[in-house]
Chain A
Amino acid sequence: MSGAHGSTVSRIFIPGDSQIHRLSPETKLVAVVAAVIVMAVTPRHEVVAFALDAVGAWSVIALSGIGVRTYLKRLAVIIPFILFAVIVPFLSGGESVQVVGVSLSVDGLWATWNILVKAGLGATMSIALSATTPVAELLHGMTRLRVPRLLVAIIAFMLRYIDVLVEQLGRMRRSMVARGHDPRWLWQIKPIASSAGALFVRSYERGERVHQAMLARGYSGVMPVVNDRHASTREWLSVMAYPFMFAVVLVVVV
């Protein structure tokens, strides 16, 4: 399972004024999910379809203006699965080919390609979505798509407090290091674990304080929605053109 996350919440959204930035969040969310589903069901042997999908996905990244470096840095989350994909041809059975004297399974190589291309394209679409949509907008988009309000509210709270807790953790760690803490072995982990326990207690108490503060300001269980702008039919049509294009590619090529 993945380790440290490169960026925390406040740095996910990259401010900009591109065409992609200006789309309404709910249309983007639906379009991205639809596009990823189309890619996921595309048979692995259709190389042409994947090439066209990649052109589509990369043109979204290019239009959004988030920059190649940022894009590649975020794409790095799929590396553990690239490692898995690369060992598959060695593990697999069936018909094999000789590559530089090493026998590799043909089906295994197709499987590697399948994992790489789908993971890569899927992550590209997710990155395009999260880098061009402010978190709050994305949550409003989810509410408009009828995702249960309770779930959206929990996610909203989580996102608001991740950075607070990560910073608190950093402060706890710095003060431990300042007192000579430098763990290298498994049996030295107790102080770190204790600080994680302390973080839980502090987080819980923070949650209670925040809740009381919200009650004092008239909170009744759900957050009020400000700026409830629904996407127009025209916007829906223009955004859904993307996944539709991918679907057309799938139908035409296969």
Chain B
Amino acid sequence: MHAPDGFLQPSVALVTAILSIGVLALGLRHAGRELGDRQVPLAGVAAAFIFAAQMVNFPVAAGTTGHLLGGALAVVLLGPWVGMLVVSVVVIVQALLFADGGLTALGYNTLNMAIVTAFGGWAAFLLVRKVMPRTSGGVIGAGALAAGVSVVLSAAAFSIEWLFGASAPVAFDTVFGAMVGVHVLIGVGEAVLTGLVLSAVMASRPDLVIGANHLTSDELAVRSRVGMRPFLIGSVLAAVVVGVVISQFAASSPDGLERVAIDNGFAESATDHAFGSSLFSDYATAGVSNESLSLAVAGVAGIAVTLLVGGGVLSASRSVRRRQMV
């Protein structure tokens, strides 16, 4: 997902760059408060850790491998602001030194891979943590789920940017379905890996895990063991359910509606919608038969991403303030 130069229209690149720079500036201020003067060496070494962790290949099946993305992991380990900063630094360095992701694409790459995963993941983590038992197992489970959610959110954010700044005549529906569908699967892998890495850290240094700060030492001592197989089967099942729901939403219904539209002969007029050509990229709506429905999909996805990311930013700012008062 390290998009190269020219992958989205310059207008989207500019808007996302301004947004990312703003959030990074905020992050630098907040991270200072979270870490004090330890921030530079710790954040730097943590960024090196995320970079190194992305190089670890995990076997998936018969020869294929996957790797950790680490956005949600960084946030659960280091807290939302420092985590966001650390992953942003990784994305910036990959573009600057490894030509991995374009320099003009840094705005949306940082937004999708660092900011959305960090704050969306943090909000999901806080939400899930509430319903989990107050044990280290609960923190690990919440972290794993948040990791899966963060990957899907990142894919949804990219699809929404595609709606505004597509560079190819591939319809929004196709991009959304493919991106979110594939990333539901990647999300399962990310959830499993994040859960395992978290549980390894919780076993030796639970005090380093910011996401487990609320637990007392007695609660930390409770370690419910979850078997590898039930965990995997459970997460794959969950992914299948989510995948089916999304594909129903994004793919099948437009097909059904398309049929109706063709039968009634208003497919022609539907494509030339009033605001199709103004605010949204012509390309992203080019092959779409029912624009209002795919805009509804985009709208719902956009609201979900915004609510989670916004919620993450808010609760992150609040937790910093509380810690300052103590």
Are B196 and A156 closer than 8 Å at their CB atoms? Answer: no
Out of B7, B103, B200, which one reaches A193, CB within 8 Å?
A: B200
Closest chain-A Cβ to B30's Cβ sits at a distance in Å of: 12
Given the contacts A130-B97, A158-B89, A78 and B4 also touching, CB distance less than 8 Å? yes
A48 at the interface (CB under 8 A from B): no
Q: Give the residues in chain A near B65, CB-CB below 8 Å.
A: 3
| A124 (CB) vs chain B CBs: closest residue | B99
A-B contacts, 26 listed (Cβ < 8 Å): A1-B2, A36-B104, A37-B10, A39-B5, A92-B169, A92-B287, A108-B168, A123-B4, A126-B102, A127-B99, A130-B97, A130-B98, A154-B43, A154-B85, A154-B86, A154-B89, A156-B44, A157-B43, A187-B229, A189-B192, A193-B193, A193-B196, A195-B56, A195-B200, A197-B198, A207-B46
Are A194 and B200 closer than 8 Å at their CB atoms? Answer: yes
Closest chain-B Cβ to A63's Cβ sits at a distance in Å of: 18
Closest chain-A Cβ to B99's Cβ sits at a distance in Å of: 4
Chain B interface residue count, CB cutoff 8 Å, equals 86
Are B44 and A119 closer than 8 Å at their CB atoms? Answer: no
A 110-130 to B, binary, CB cutoff 8 A, 1 in contact else 0: 011011011101110111011
Are B52 and A199 closer than 8 Å at their CB atoms? Answer: yes
Closest chain-A Cβ to B187's Cβ sits at a distance in Å of: 12
B47 at the interface (CB under 8 A from A): yes
| A201 (CB) vs chain B CBs: closest residue | B205
| A106 (CB) vs chain B CBs: closest residue | B169
In the complex, A135→B98 CA distance in Å? 12
Are A12 and B228 closer than 8 Å at their CB atoms? Answer: no
Are B103 and A197 closer than 8 Å at their CB atoms? Answer: no
Chain A interface residue count, CB cutoff 8 Å, equals 91
In the complex, A114→B200 CA distance in Å? 45
Closest chain-B Cβ to A123's Cβ sits at a distance in Å of: 4
B257 at the interface (CB under 8 A from A): no
Out of B38, B61, B86, B196, which one reaches A185, CB within 8 Å?
A: B61
Out of B3, B60, B100, B203, which one reaches A5, CB within 8 Å?
A: B100
Closest chain-B Cβ to A118's Cβ sits at a distance in Å of: 3
Out of B3, B57, B169, which one reaches A111, CB within 8 Å?
A: B169
Q: Give the residues in chain A near B93, CB-CB below 8 Å.
A: 155, 158-159
In the complex, A74→B30 CA distance in Å? 36
Are B196 and A208 closer than 8 Å at their CB atoms? Answer: no
Q: Give the residues in chain B near A160, CB-CB below 8 Å.
A: 44, 48
In the complex, A206→B46 CA distance in Å? 10
In the complex, identify which listed stretch (A161-169, A229-237, A239-247) lies at the interface while the others stay far away. Answer: A161-169
Residues of A bordering B, CB below 8 Å:
1-7, 9, 12, 32-33, 36-37, 39-41, 74-75, 77-78, 81, 85, 88, 91-94, 105, 107-108, 111-112, 114-115, 117-119, 121-123, 125-127, 129-130, 135, 138, 148, 150-151, 153-162, 164-166, 169, 183-190, 192-201, 203-204, 206-208, 210-211, 214, 221
Are B97 and A135 closer than 8 Å at their CB atoms? Answer: yes
Are A196 and B68 closer than 8 Å at their CB atoms? Answer: yes
Q: Give the residues in chain B near A118, CB-CB below 8 Å.
A: 4-7, 102
Q: Give the residues in chain A near B24, CB-CB below 8 Å.
A: 151
B59 at the interface (CB under 8 A from A): yes
B53 at the interface (CB under 8 A from A): yes
In the complex, A122→B103 CA distance in Å? 7
Out of B6, B38, B196, B198, which one reaches A122, CB within 8 Å?
A: B6
Q: Give the residues in chain B near A74, CB-CB below 8 Å.
A: 98-99
Q: Which of B27-46 contact A (CB under 8 A)?
A: 28, 31-32, 37-46
In the complex, A32→B95 CA distance in Å? 12
In the complex, A85→B95 CA distance in Å? 20
Are A36 and B5 closer than 8 Å at their CB atoms? Answer: yes
Q: Which of A160, A164, A197, A221: most chain B Cβ within 10 A?
A: A197
Beyond contacts A85-B168, A160-B48, A208-B38: 6 other A-B pairs, Cβ-Cβ < 8 A, are A88-B169, A105-B169, A108-B170, A184-B63, A189-B196, A194-B200
Are B37 and A165 closer than 8 Å at their CB atoms? Answer: no
| A90 (CB) vs chain B CBs: closest residue | B170
Are B48 and A119 closer than 8 Å at their CB atoms? Answer: no
B306 at the interface (CB under 8 A from A): no
Are A158 and B51 closer than 8 Å at their CB atoms? Answer: yes
| B113 (CB) vs chain A CBs: closest residue | A1
| A189 (CB) vs chain B CBs: closest residue | B58
Closest chain-B Cβ to A34's Cβ sits at a distance in Å of: 10
